[in-house]
């Protein structure tokens, strides 16, 4: 299982953040909130918390309007008609009650999974559970006479969030207690607020046509547009989307290091800019007091944060799409092992064993079997910047 270990970062960074935002007095009030977790749904036990981070690949704002053209031009990701509403980043974070040994599990976006509640589909790439449910609900509301475009957008997104939350619950077999949805532009805005993000590449890359990623090997500081290209690139990488997952993990680790080291939380201008970025790009689940959460996390004694990536059996082609064939039973076993290492009392959902026969091997598929058992080369501790492909 590929993993990156970042020790001693979260308490310092998030604790300082909580103090700064609490002082500002308006942090929690500025977020769009969502009821997509539902009521009477499973929750973790004994003070544990599972948080789903959703990276939404859309060029639209919360009202369904296109992002400003000057931002779209910098994203190097197409206009508002491109990308749809795919959940291209899915990270499930387990925080035990004692705030030690935090584990963040990345779910590859092309994992082919069983779904329910989406008309016309029984299986799909997990990233599509958001957008296809959104579209189905909007079509239904339109047929019932709803014409308010903004209301349709908001209702569709709520349905999409509920759908992706359920898909992750079903795949991993654990409760989800909180979630945060971040837009594609969030990576860009975060990097801009920080004055760029430092990364390290094992090899030079040239993916100008697709993502705009053209970088030399080694350590370098990326501007906002380059930061987005860094986390979006998958073409030309040895393990495609799996390598992109590692980049996203490395990006988050580098941001945490940068926040801690740059004096951000004593700089009112930077702090205000970060608050604005969060309010503009993040949707939070109802009932989550993020300031209290960060303050509590900040009181713990230097917890470790471990990034892992869920295993893939093989690559295949289904209905003309490249997908990851996965074993849900093995994934639940992996998640249980990862979360139980952090906390032996971790709660599990009582799901029946799923049918993992999603498709026959496709003789036309030429994609290589991913080397999912090989760990990344660098284990990050202290102040290290992770080097990735």
Distance CA 310, CA 331 (A): 7
Give the containing element (helix H, strand E) for 94.
Answer: strand 86-95
Can you read off the two tokens belonging to residue 96? 């035990």
The SS3 of residue 380 is: coil
Rounded Cα distance, 270 and 327, in Å: 44
What local confidence, expressed as pLDDT, does residue 77 receive?
58
- Which H or E element spans position 108? none
- Which residues lie closer than 8 Å to 41 by C-beta, 6 or more apart? 175, 176
Q: Which helix (H) or strand (E) holds 161?
A: helix 149-172
Q: Is the dihedral of CA 27, 33, 39, 42 positive or negative?
A: negative
Structure tokens at 329: 């039973």
Coil, strand, or helix at residue 152? helix
Q: Note whether 102 and 94 are within 8 A (CB).
A: yes
In the chain the domains, ranked by start, together with CATH numbers, are 3-129+167-388 (3.40.630.190)
- For residues 182 and 279, give the distance between their C-alpha atoms in angstroms, rounded to a whole number: 10
pLDDT at 338: 87
Pick the closest to residue 306 from 380, 251, 237 (CA basis). 380
* pLDDT score for 78: 54
Distance, CA of 136 to CA of 145 (rounded, Å): 15
In the sheet with 123-125, reading across from the earlier edge strand, the strands are: 123-125, 111-114, 321-325, 314-318
DSSP state of 385: P
DSSP state of 45: S
In total, the chain counts a number of residues equal to 389
pLDDT of 209: 84
Helix ranges restricted to H, 209-307 = 224-232, 241-261, 268-281, 290-298
Please count the other Cβ atoms lying within 10 Å of the Cβ belonging to residue 149.
12
Integer Cα distance of 46 and 48 in angstroms: 6
C-alpha–C-alpha distance, residues 303 and 100, integer Å:
5
Ranges of the chain whose pLDDT falls below 50:
1-16, 18-19, 24, 79-80, 352-382
What is the DSSP pairing of strand 102-106 with strand 86-95?
Answer: antiparallel
CA distance 20 to 272: 9
C-alpha 17/C-alpha 297 separation (Å) is: 11
Q: How far apart are CA 168 and CA 155, in angstroms?
A: 20
Asked if residue 59 lies in contact with residue 66, where contact means CB atoms within 8 angstroms, the answer is yes
Q: Give the pLDDT confidence score for residue 286 in this predicted structure.
A: 95
DSSP letter string, 336-377: HHHHHHH-TT-----PPPPP-------TT--PPPP-TTSPPS
Residue 210's pLDDT is what? 83
Which secondary structure element, helix H or strand E, spans residue 333, and what is its range?
Answer: helix 328-342
Over the stretch 280-321, which tens digit does the pLDDT of each residue have? 889 999 999 887 887 776 666 656 678 888 989 999 999 999
Calpha distance 215→219 (Å, rounded): 10
Model confidence pLDDT, tens digit, residues 163-211: 999 999 999 999 999 999 998 778 888 888 888 899 999 999 999 888 8
Helix (H) or strand (E) holding 168: helix 149-172
Show the tokens assigned to 342. 């952090």
The percent helix, strand, coil of the chain (3-state, each to 5) is: 40, 20, 40
> Strands 205-207, 197-201: parallel, antiparallel or unpaired by DSSP?
unpaired
Is this model's pTM higher than 0.85 or not?
no
């Amino acid at each position: 299982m590929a993993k990156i270990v970042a020790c001693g970062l979260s308490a310092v960074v998030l604790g300082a953040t909580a103090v700064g935002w609490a002082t500002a007095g308006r942090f929690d009030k500025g977020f769009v909130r969502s009821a997509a977790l539902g009521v009477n749904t499973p929750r973790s036990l004994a003070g544990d918390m599972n948080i789903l981070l959703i990276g939404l690949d859309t060029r639209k704002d919360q009202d369904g309007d296109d992002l400003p053209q000057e931002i779209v031009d910098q994203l190097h990701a197409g206009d508002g008609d491109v990308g749809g509403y795919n959940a291209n980043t899915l990270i499930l974070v387990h925080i035990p009650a004692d705030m030690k040994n935090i584990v963040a599990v990345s779910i590859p976006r092309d994992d082919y999974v069983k779904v329910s509640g989406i008309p016309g589909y029984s299986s799909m790439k997990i990233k599509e559970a958001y957008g296809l449910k959104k579209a189905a609900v909007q079509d239904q509301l339109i047929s019932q006479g709803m014409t308010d475009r903004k209301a349709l957008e908001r209702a569709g997104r709520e349905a999409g969030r509920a759908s992706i939350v359920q898909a992750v619950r079903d795949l991993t077999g654990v409760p989800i207690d909180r979630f945060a949805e971040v837009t594609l532009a969030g990576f860009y805005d975060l990097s801009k607020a920080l004055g760029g993000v430092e990364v390290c590449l094992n090899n030079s890359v040239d993916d100008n046509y697709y993502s705009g990623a053209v970088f030399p090997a080694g350590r370098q500081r990326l501007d906002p547009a380059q930061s987005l290209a860094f986390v979006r690139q998958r073409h030309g990488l040895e393990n495609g989307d799996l390598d992109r997952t590692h980049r996203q993990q490395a990006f988050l680790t580098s941001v945490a290091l940068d926040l801690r080291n740059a004096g951000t939380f004593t700089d009112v201008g930077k702090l205000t800019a970060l608050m604005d970025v969060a309010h503009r790009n993040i949707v939070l689940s109802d009932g989550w007091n993020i300031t209290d959460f960060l303050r509590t996390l900040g009181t713990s004694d230097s917890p470790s944060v471990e990034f892992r990536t869920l295993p893939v059996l093989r690559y295949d082609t289904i209905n003309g799409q490249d997908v990851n064939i996965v074993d849900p039973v093995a994934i639940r076993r992996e998640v249980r092992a990862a979360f139980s290492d952090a906390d032996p009392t971790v709660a599990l959902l009582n799901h029946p064993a799923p049918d993992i026969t999603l498709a026959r091997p496709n003789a036309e598929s030429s994609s290589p079997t991913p080397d999912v058992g090989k760990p990344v080369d660098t284990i990050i501790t202290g102040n290290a910047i992770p080097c990735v492909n």
